[in-house]
Structure 1
Amino acid sequence: MDAEAVPLKRSINSEGSESEEEVTEIGMLPAFIMSINFIIGAGFFSMPYVFYHGGILWGALTLIVVTITLIITSNWTLETCSRAQALDTVIRESDIPDLTFQDVSIIGKRNSTFGSVNSRTRLIKPKYEITNTRKFEFTELMEVFFGKPGRIITAAMIIIYLLVTLTAYATIFASTWSLVIPYNTSIHSFGLCNLTDYEGLLPGGTCLNSYRFSVLIFACIVIPISAMDVKTMKPFQIALSFSMQFTIAMGIIHCIYGLAVGNVANDEHKTPHPTRFFSFSFDSFVNMVPIVVYSQVLHEGIPMIAQPARDKTKLHKLFAGALTFACMVYLTFSVLTALRFREDVASTASLNWNLTRKPGNPILVRMISYLIMMTPSIVVCSAYPLCAITLVTNLFLLITGRDLSTDPKYKNKLKAIGCVISLLPISSALFISNLKTLSKYAGLIAFVLIMFIPIMLQVQSRRKCRRVFGRVDMWIEESIAASLSLREEDRLQLLDKYAKLRDVMTMTPYYSSWWSRTWVVVVVTVVSSLLFVLGAISAFTITAES
């Protein structure tokens, strides 16, 4: 792991003035781990259930298609961040009075390099990339390229999505603890829960008391962590990430062993249920699609992770690797768990090890079962603060239109407000415990956030860069002509400034590749639309059933 570096950077604060501040850089390994923690969350534990009932093969293929699509759209998100920073540089460095982010009616020269046609002055053509000088949150990108309505709509969607996600985290913790921890006392009427208690929206009887008490324990853990800085959380994030991967590995090994000895469905049936590997059920398949999409959400966290990452030239590989790694983990765990437990697979997969932890089984099996069940409930404690920080940032972007997270004078206020807001999803978890239902509704919002918004940003950012850079290029030509009457010293200073501006305008985004082409945008749009229709059918079916 690389050592930390804390360089001083001159940045533009939320009020538009320059300030000198410390920008903490992190190595690529911590950035990768943070990305994994951002991806692997609540949706992961619903996947074995929907894989089995929707058809294991079809679930695997859907996950692969979704992952490839999201790798492309994550790259477009990076390109858009890069274009936004280039626009920020050009707008600040040029002296055109009416040139702003909101100027969307500019008519300028159109060319394939997004700007000046005069690139003969440079021997090597560099590419503009994401820098430490300014972070463009996902919501800010929508405002840059679509104006205030884009910011409001996107911020509202992210807030709703994160509230549902944080509620799901609380249900994972509380359902696990109420199933494993013996709270049973005559004073408080706590009872140990069973898997059947979580088939509905909320358990009943004494199990409900245990579940809600577990929600309160979760609140006591995550609220203080939510007040930490991202840098302070780093050791905690790394430790829990490795714990999670180790636990998943134990679950995979346990499933392989069970399949190898023929111990399927916990020996509860004389004739094990069919594997349903090649079977297909349309109703179950459409319920699976939004959960698969929900399990791979990363995009709203890309700016937060990308800004402090040290080697920004490899960001596209970083996020593509994180999504690919998560996909492989999901595939292995979901397929093996579905084959191992079959019809008995729980909607929260880690709870399947409840039976194997009971007395009568070998001590090693019981220890592994406790580990598999308990670790996910602890790991969501690491994901909760990351999502809470993003939630608070977008809330203030929605209300004020400013990213206050980069302004030191609002640091403590944001922490306090973040702790208060974190109580909202925890309160919601007191009245719903069904993870599968939460995942489906969150997945429907995720379609827009990680598929359609990156597509819109990719198209509009290219269009706006051509317009703005074309106008600035014409201004440079006019300014150079007017500078002929100046003294040579003054004229050289202006020419140097114009050369730097053209260096920005003639550069293409560092993260551009063959999948940034128009035909790829069309294909991704078609695939995303088809998946969204299936997800909408799932939500409509749920509404009709309820």
Structure 2
Amino acid sequence: IALGLFLLFIVTVTFNITCAYEAEVMCRAEAVVHQRLDRQHQIQQSPEEDLKIKHHAFSVVELCEIFAGKGVRQIYIILVTILVIGGSMSNVTIFADSLSAQVPLPFLNGGSVCLEHHSPGCYELYLFYVLVMACWAIPLSVMDIQEMAILQVTLTLARIAVAIVMVATAIYSYISPDKLFDLSDVHVEEAPMANYGHFGPMLCTAAYTQLLNSYVTIIVQPLQNKSSLGRVIASGYVCSFVAFCIFGISVALAFGSATAASSNVNWQRFTGGGEGVTIENRPIWATLISDIVLIFPVIDVMSAFPLNIHNLATNLMAAVYHDRVDRAERDKTVRKFFRGVSAAVPLVVASLITKLDTILDYSGTVGILLAMVIPPYLSYVSERGTKELLDLRSVNTAYTTIFSRPPFLLVVAVLGFTLFAAAIINNIFKGFG
């Protein structure tokens, strides 16, 4: 438990710093592009007045092209494509697995549910629910963020409500002699404070859950007051860190070594407590809670998948249109086309690659590079490039801190490479094991 929380804290703090690097580079790009478009414009000697995010929300693809060159730009496109497709594939797999395990169909698999879709007859049921997801995921993904604002708020509230139920029942079951879960048929040991054998998976999972770096552009676009970007990102990280801590601790204490890879699966054993109550004779209200929690990933996926697709489409448009991307983003037809294609790809690939743990391991590994290597490098080259192009002594922005100094940038980048290498080695050995 302690090791997991420590890794989550380190990842959260580090990723918040590297998100600030991206915001810093966006500010410099604004000034550089403005100067290129308007040669008569004179940058003021108080650079804070010019080095601001004012109009265009630059994608990292554009930032790479402006400051780092085409080589880094191509590397970033490959990495972010792997990350977002991997994340979207995990959404598809979770959706199809959850419904396959809870909602049987009379015309597939003999009318039975599938707890493991690799079993005979289960793969067809899994594919059916992938098609079901495609029917709503593609239309939803082509919509703008503002168009699905009500849906996103509703799903977020539903997510919070289910999380509260999960935490409350897990904590009550741990502290009360009246156990709410039937664990009589499994051997349960307390969760260890540190399990170094799972360092790699824990690191990759922490990186995957806290990775906002490739979403900074999406966060900036709808903001009316773009100067509040830093506070918005920091607030998001604080909330997510606290939520994951509460959730992780409560589940680990309640289930210990019996905790499932997808923690909501443990609620299959929810009975509501009481002497002699089993899964078979539990009350209706307990069955209802169990079913709602087990279907929870479906709610989560409906919220997350369109955002992943927007991220992928934004970067692909920047890769294709280069300096014309601003015009392309305003073209509704182009925007919808890229989002539709971006949504279709992970749906197709997830039909072929169905192992969720493998998808998450490698997506999280790539996320380490995107969050801890690319941003500090861009911060360094953008500072040098902006000083030369605009003939300024200082190009500090509202997001510049002590961590923006070259020694800190180097430390973050080296740490990122080290963690990436460690995670890759762990994944390789895990695959052979």
Same fold (TM over 0.5): yes
CA 1:506–1:291 in structure 2 vs 1: closer, same or farther (change >3 Å)?
closer
Kindly state the Cα deviation for residue 314 of structure 1 after the two structures are TM-superposed. Answer: 2.0
Q: 1:93 aligns with which of 38, 56, 66?
A: 38
Instruction: Report the equivalent of 1:380.
Output: 301
Instruction: Report the equivalent of 1:165.
Output: 87
| Contact 2:96–2:126, Cα closer than 8 Å, also in 1 | yes
2:211 match: secondary structure: coil
Q: 2:58 aligns with which of 123, 136, 139?
A: 136
> Is 1:221 matched with 2:142?
no
CA distance in 2, matches of 1:262, 1:58: 28
CA 1:162–1:186 in structure 2 vs 1: closer, same or farther (change >3 Å)?
closer
Give the total of aligned pairs.
426
1:61 match: secondary structure: helix
* Residue identity matched to 1:369: S
Of residues 260-269 and 511-520 in structure 1, the stretch that sits farther from structure 2 once superposed is: 260-269
CA distance in 2, matches of 1:526, 1:289: 16
CA 1:524–1:187 in structure 2 vs 1: closer, same or farther (change >3 Å)?
closer
> Is 1:347 matched with 2:261?
yes
| Contact 1:447–1:532, Cα closer than 8 Å, also in 2 | yes
CA distance in 2, matches of 1:151, 1:77: 14
CA distance in 2, matches of 1:455, 1:264: 49
Instruction: Report the equivalent of 2:376.
Output: 455
CA distance in 2, matches of 1:143, 1:203: 44
CA distance in 2, matches of 1:407, 1:138: 16
Q: Which residues in structure 2 correspond to 1:521-532 (within 5 Å)?
A: 521-532=409-420
Instruction: Report the equivalent of 1:542.
Output: 430
Q: Which residues in structure 2 correspond to 1:251-400 (within 5 Å)?
A: 251-262=166-177, 266-269=181-184, 273-282=188-197, 284-356=198-270, 358-400=279-321
2:310 match: secondary structure: helix
> Is 1:76 matched with 2:21?
yes
CA distance in 1, matches of 2:96, 2:12: 30
The percentage of counterpart residues that share the same residue type is: 25
Instruction: Report the equivalent of 2:152.
Output: 237
TM-score normalised to the size of structure 1?
A: 0.72
Q: 2:7 aligns with which of 62, 74, 88?
A: 62
Q: Which residues in structure 2 correspond to 1:464-479 (within 5 Å)?
A: 464-470=385-391
CA distance in 2, matches of 1:522, 1:187: 55
RMSD: 2.6
CA 1:524–1:387 in structure 2 vs 1: closer, same or farther (change >3 Å)?
same
CA distance in 2, matches of 1:456, 1:244: 36
Structure 2 alignment gaps of length 5 or more: 272-278
Q: 2:364 aligns with which of 423, 429, 443?
A: 443
> Is 1:174 matched with 2:96?
yes
Bigger Rg, which one: 1
CA distance in 2, matches of 1:351, 1:272: 16
| Contact 1:170–1:218, Cα closer than 8 Å, also in 2 | yes
| Contact 1:155–1:394, Cα closer than 8 Å, also in 2 | yes
| Contact 1:219–1:423, Cα closer than 8 Å, also in 2 | yes
CA distance in 1, matches of 2:34, 2:107: 67
| Contact 1:180–1:354, Cα closer than 8 Å, also in 2 | no
CA distance in 2, matches of 1:263, 1:342: 17
CA distance in 2, matches of 1:265, 1:364: 13
CA 1:286–1:91 in structure 2 vs 1: closer, same or farther (change >3 Å)?
same
Instruction: Report the equivalent of 2:274.
Output: none
2:188 match: secondary structure: coil
CA distance in 2, matches of 1:402, 1:178: 45
* Residue identity matched to 2:404: S
CA distance in 2, matches of 1:343, 1:370: 23
Q: 2:118 aligns with which of 203, 209, 218?
A: 203
| Contact 1:404–1:410, Cα closer than 8 Å, also in 2 | no
CA distance in 1, matches of 2:394, 2:35: 11
* Residue identity matched to 2:14: T
| Contact 1:291–1:439, Cα closer than 8 Å, also in 2 | yes
CA distance in 2, matches of 1:439, 1:68: 21
CA distance in 2, matches of 1:389, 1:278: 38
| Contact 2:26–2:63, Cα closer than 8 Å, also in 1 | yes
Q: Which residues in structure 2 correspond to 1:27-66 (within 5 Å)?
A: 56-66=1-11
CA distance in 2, matches of 1:314, 1:383: 23
2:12 match: secondary structure: helix
Instruction: Report the equivalent of 1:6.
Output: none
CA distance in 2, matches of 1:326, 1:427: 30
| Contact 1:265–1:343, Cα closer than 8 Å, also in 2 | no
2:298 match: secondary structure: helix
Kindly state the Cα deviation for residue 361 of structure 1 after the two structures are TM-superposed. Answer: 2.2
